[in-house]
Amino acid sequence: MKRKTVIILTLFAIVFGSMALVAIANGGAPDVITIDKAQATKAPVVFPHKAHSDVNDCVVCHHTATGKDDAKSCFECHGKDPKANDPSVSSAKENPFHIRCKGCHNEQKKGPTKCGECHKK
């Protein structure tokens, strides 16, 4: 049984990458995610995923999901470079991560909303 589990987990990790392995180890949700857009002019964002998932339903951020079991990584739809997947995304203000994150922070009146608060050097 253990061998079968290890084989299944290894195949899963190969197919879905290291993020999947972190999610399995942490019971479904990674503690931290680094959002590093290709061709980015700003520093990568270290996103405290567990802190957000502890207070929000998965579908708040994973807007195409119906529950935690079918929540996809942001990059599965938006890719490493959102502009490459959607030519209409032409500025940082139209970036899907900025829209989702900053929109929620503005709505909740808490959390970072300025560039340097997320993109730390």
Per-residue pLDDT of the chain (121 residues; tens, 9 = 90+): 566 665 655 555 554 444 444 444 445 678 998 887 655 678 888 999 999 988 888 888 888 888 777 888 877 777 655 555 554 454 566 677 888 888 899 999 999 999 899 988 8
Distance CA 94, CA 88 (A): 8
Q: Which pLDDT value is given to residue 84?
A: 59
pTM over 0.85: no
What residues are paired with 81 via a beta bridge? none
Contact 71, 90 (CB under 8 A): no
Alpha helices in 1-121 (DSSP H): 2-16, 18-25, 49-55, 58-61, 74-78, 82-85, 96-108, 115-118
Helix (H) or strand (E) holding 35: strand 33-35
Distance CA 78, CA 10 (A): 25
- Collect all residues with Cβ–Cβ distance below 8 Å to 70 and sequence separation of at least 6: none
Contact 42, 28 (CB under 8 A): no
- The tokens describing 20, both together, are 């999947």
